[in-house]
Amino acid sequence: MRTYQCYQVDSFTREKFSGNPAGVVLDATGLQDTEMQKIAREFNNSETAFLFPTQEQTHDVAIRFFTPLQEVPICGHATIAAHYVRARELGLGRQCIRQKTKAGILPVDILPEGDDYHIQMTQGAIEFGSILSGQTMAQLLCALGIQPEDLISPSALPIQIVSTGHSKVMVGIRSRKLLDTLQPGLEALAQISRQIGCNGFYVFTLHPDSDILVHGRMFAPAIGIAEDPVTGNANGPLGAYLVRYEYAPAEDARFRFTARQGEAIGRAGTVKVEVSVKDRIPQKVCISGNAVIVFHTELHLDDK
């Protein structure tokens, strides 16, 4: 009999039953790919993280991420969750952990806060993909239930695919009320994902006069996520995107902001984003947040 320590963790919050839930398997040694996929489906969170110890010199821990339908290269909130659990269980002090993912070896900073932790992850390489226009843009707006006049000027902030490891389509709109009432056509979005090779759509509003710059919602039905409550892999790329289009000047070579997500589905959470900037070009993206363990259980599987 194999025994695995499994955790349900809410990320980007300190309140249970809010933020973004992730499954965490603290030491997944011995699990086959098919078993990890079944465990992720059983957790039924947007992502479940599986940690693997390593003896290699290049990294401190390996980690894999599965949605209920498939493996993905990286996940922000599940990274926060996994390293929060690891820090608590191992009693870690302030340190930088090198995690090996399918998006590369990326640093994660463990930041003690009293008797708790704040977790910061550096995301992968910034990539700006296709700008959606013409018929594809029209199909997307129809699927989202958005009119062209609802958009922030596409000449200022175009609808574009952006990635820091797991790409999202950035869609800026003017109205917070519209954002909160969107009821997108999920099958239509999944079909568009197959056409453009990008599985997530991040619809956001901007509030420059508030402590919360961004409110957003992220839909990724093509990979089994109707709506993700709080998305590191959307807000991180958004930071790079806002720098690229000169939304806000970066002070001291840093662009920092706070984003709020999940409010429309009753799972509000907060993510902090920091973009390093050189010559007005985004260089590196970090996201950070808190977490809370909701429950811990053991999973027993028959030996193979």
Q: Per-residue pLDDT averaged across 163-182, rounded? A: 97
Query: In the prediction, which pLDDT does 241 show?
Result: 97
Residue 248 banded pLDDT, cuts 50, 70, 90: confident
Compute the chain's Rg from CA coordinates.
19
Is residue 47 part of the annotated active site? The answer reads yes
Q: Per-residue pLDDT averaged across 37-62, rounded? A: 96
Q: How far is CA 173 from CA 21, 33, 220, in A?
A: 26, 39, 18
- Tell me the pLDDT tens digit for each residue of 82-95: 999 999 999 999 99
Q: Per-residue pLDDT averaged across 160-165, rounded? A: 97
Three-class SS of residue 243?
A: helix
Q: How far is CA 68 from CA 137, 197, 208, 213, 222, in A?
A: 28, 19, 36, 31, 11
Query: In the prediction, which pLDDT does 251 show?
Result: 67
CA–CA separation, 199 and 168 (whole Å):
7
Q: Per-residue pLDDT averaged across 60-64, rounded? A: 98
Among residues 15, 35, 42, 47, the one annotated as catalytic is: 47
Query: In the prediction, which pLDDT does 22 show?
Result: 98
Q: How many CB atoms lie within 10 A of CB 304?
A: 8
Query: In the prediction, which pLDDT does 279 show?
Result: 87
Q: How far is CA 59 from CA 62, 65, 104, 105, 212, in A?
A: 7, 17, 10, 7, 35
Q: Per-residue pLDDT averaged across 227-249, rounded? A: 94
Question: Which segment of 27-36, 179-188, 245-254, 288-297 scores lowest on mean pLDDT?
Answer: 245-254
- Tell me the pLDDT tens digit for each residue of 114-129: 999 999 999 999 999 9
CA–CA separation, 79 and 294 (whole Å):
16
CA–CA separation, 143 and 204 (whole Å):
16
Query: In the prediction, which pLDDT does 155 show?
Result: 87
Query: In the prediction, which pLDDT does 250 show?
Result: 65
Residue 303 has pLDDT above 90, yes or no: no
Residue 196 banded pLDDT, cuts 50, 70, 90: very high
Q: How far is CA 130 from CA 39, 71, 176, 189, 227, in A?
A: 34, 23, 26, 17, 23
pTM above 0.85, yes or no: yes
Query: In the prediction, which pLDDT does 247 show?
Result: 87
- Tell me the pLDDT tens digit for each residue of 126-145: 999 999 999 999 999 999 99
Residue 42 has pLDDT above 70, yes or no: yes
CA–CA separation, 117 and 261 (whole Å):
21
Residue 152 has pLDDT above 80, yes or no: yes
Residue 304 has pLDDT above 90, yes or no: no
Backbone φ and ψ for 164, nearest 5 degrees, come out as -125, 35
Mean confidence (pLDDT) of the chain? 96
**From start to end of 89-241, where are the E strands?**
95-101, 104-113, 116-122, 127-131, 160-163, 168-172, 201-206, 214-220, 225-228
Query: In the prediction, which pLDDT does 187 show?
Result: 98
Q: How far is CA 29 from CA 26, 50, 69, 91, in A?
A: 9, 9, 21, 21
Residue 203 banded pLDDT, cuts 50, 70, 90: very high
Residue 249 banded pLDDT, cuts 50, 70, 90: low
Query: In the prediction, which pLDDT does 197 show?
Result: 97
Q: What is the percent of the chain with per-residue pLDDT over 90, rounded to a whole number?
A: 94
